[in-house]
Structure 1
Amino acid sequence: MKTLIRPLGAAAVAFALLAGGTATAQAYNLSGGHLPTTSPSYKINGGSSASRTAWSAGVSDWNNAGAGVSPSTTSGSATVALSEANDSSVSWDGITYWNNGANGVMTNVSAQLNAAYTAGYSASKREGVAAHEVGHTLGLAHSNSCVLMNPTTPDRTNCGVYRPQQDDINGVRAIYGASSRAAAQPGTVMHLSQAESFKDLKSLHRSADAVVVASVGGQSSTVKDGIPFTDHNLKVRAWLKGGSSTGSATVHQTGGPVDGALMQDDRDPLLQEGQTGIYFLRQYAPGKFFIIGGADGRFEITAGNSVSALASSNVKDVSGSLSDLVSRTQGLTRAEGSR
């Protein structure tokens, strides 16, 4: 996409019509925090030349967007730290995290591009992930429409969105144009950009290495480069795809405690001990998996043997019946094995 500002896409128009009005709908969402300045500086700390170029472009996109802020890169001390990860054990291609301090001022703001995914992206697609993460550093949360702050890279790419759209710009203007702001709750904030998005059970199943019916057991947490990770022990009741001679598997998830505070993505919260569900998994090491598509790849088993997707899931063709989901998944596994 060549222009910096363009009309809202079809999804945003539909959103406006569903809202019952002809005026432009406010689709942007705010994280509740803001940087201490409208001229924030960004320091790019190492990484591949492709990631460094993407970060520079993402910062420049916001500087040129007319959003009331003037971000720039620097080699000295900075408001925001940008870097690169290379982690094939997670489902995200970008991550942003920070602390909300006094009066909602964001501190210790950091963002990473995950080269395990982004190294295979086109330059424009990689720039889109970087600009998306810079949007988070300015205080924007995710929005479900054809805008830069859509939470999944495939959906942004399908919309042809790689730079701030008018709704994204309006959101930043709302943050930094405010003469007074409601105080944000102190604590840690984390947002993930999902590298994959699934709209139906068939595509979800096709991309999974394993599908299990399992309950969540004990967990252990670690922190790497300021990012917490939690390993959950799944007590597997049935393998609907893949398989193992053991009745357990380890699921790796981004999120966990940091300095006594819980950091997790609001769209894909941590699994809870005792929770039972059906999980669509990708293996990254023997016996170790992560849930594909974040919220898309997990379905909680509730009372009465029904299943429910997370509110943020993109998968829309799963009914509330546990037996139906198990039967359909097994059917897809048989069909896949017969090819």
Structure 2
Amino acid sequence: MIKKKAKIFIFTLVFLFGIVSIAEAYFLLGTKWGSSSVTYRRDASMNWVDTCTAAGNSWSSDVTMKENSASKYVIYKISDSAKQWSGETNISTAYGITTSATTKINSYVMSNYTWTQKQSVIAHEMGHSLGLADNNGYLLFEKPEYICLMIGYDYWRNKLGVYTPKTDDRAGVNYLY
């Protein structure tokens, strides 16, 4: 009886670990915009025009992301020493479709960031607005194919030199749109 239970247990482990693999490394939030043409607008506080434009353009081969003063996706800048994050995106949805989004960029945390590192943060947050979740697969598995813009930590994106969407990020957006 014990032998039979041991065999079943071992078979179950082999079966589970044998079939569990990450078919797609990207992670989704469960929402997306109703169109692959997505617009954003900068609040008056967000004066990093070129940085926002470059971040939006970095997604342009997968979706069209352009600035539009009537957009329901607003990006604004705060300077809050009490917050430890560089960016935060909040999304409103209805039936799996994004109806509006806001991105807060914390310039206090980013005060020593290079222009490219700031672009990375904004592009990362735009990725959330498009429906991508943080993806820390590289930190778990250390496989080069898991290096992506949606790594949830600025430190790692900067260390790995990730400032624009990578293959995995594009695969996630292409799946959604």
Please classify the TM superposition score into its range, dividing by the shorter chain length: 0.7 to 0.9
Matched, 1:96 2:93: no
Aligned to 2:117: 125
Q: Distance in 2 between matches of 1:20 and 1:88?
A: 47
Cα deviation, 1:2-61, whole Å, max 9, x if unaligned, reads: xxxxxxxxxxxxxxxxx879x995110000001121111111112354x33322211111
Q: Which has more strand, going by share of residues?
A: 1
Matched, 1:62 2:30: no
Residue type of the partner of 1:39?
S
| 2:79 aligned to which of 45, 62, 86 | 86
Seen in structure 2, the aligned counterparts of structure 1 residues 48 and 141 have a Cα distance that, compared at 3 Å, is closer
Q: Distance in 2 between matches of 1:108 and 1:26?
A: 27
Residue type of the partner of 1:57?
A
Seen in structure 2, the aligned counterparts of structure 1 residues 79 and 40 have a Cα distance that, compared at 3 Å, is farther
Larger RCO (alpha carbons 8 Å, 6+ apart): 2
Q: Distance in 2 between matches of 1:118 and 1:48?
A: 13
Aligned length: 151
Q: Distance in 1 between matches of 2:18 and 2:67?
A: 42
**8 Å Cα contact 1:84-1:113 kept in structure 2:** yes
Aligned to 2:27: 29
Structure whose alpha-carbon radius of gyration is higher: 1
Seen in structure 2, the aligned counterparts of structure 1 residues 88 and 175 have a Cα distance that, compared at 3 Å, is same
Aligned to 1:300: none
**8 Å Cα contact 1:34-1:106 kept in structure 2:** yes
Which ranges of structure 1 fall in alignment gaps of 5 or more residues?
A: 1-18, 177-339
% identity of equivalent residues: 28
SS at match of 2:70: coil
**8 Å Cα contact 2:46-2:76 kept in structure 1:** no
SS at match of 2:119: helix
Seen in structure 2, the aligned counterparts of structure 1 residues 28 and 83 have a Cα distance that, compared at 3 Å, is same
| 2:102 aligned to which of 107, 110, 114 | 110
What is the Cα-based RMSD across aligned positions, in Å? Answer: 2.0
Q: Structure 1-normalised TM-score? A: 0.42
**8 Å Cα contact 1:40-1:79 kept in structure 2:** no
Matched, 1:150 2:177: no
Cα deviation, 1:217-262, whole Å, max 9, x if unaligned, reads: xxxxxxxxxxxxxxxxxxxxxxxxxxxxxxxxxxxxxxxxxxxxxx
**8 Å Cα contact 1:96-1:112 kept in structure 2:** yes
Seen in structure 2, the aligned counterparts of structure 1 residues 117 and 53 have a Cα distance that, compared at 3 Å, is farther
**8 Å Cα contact 1:32-1:139 kept in structure 2:** yes
Q: Report 1:3-42 matches (<5 A).
A: 25-42=23-40
SS at match of 1:26: coil
Q: Structure 2-normalised TM-score? A: 0.79
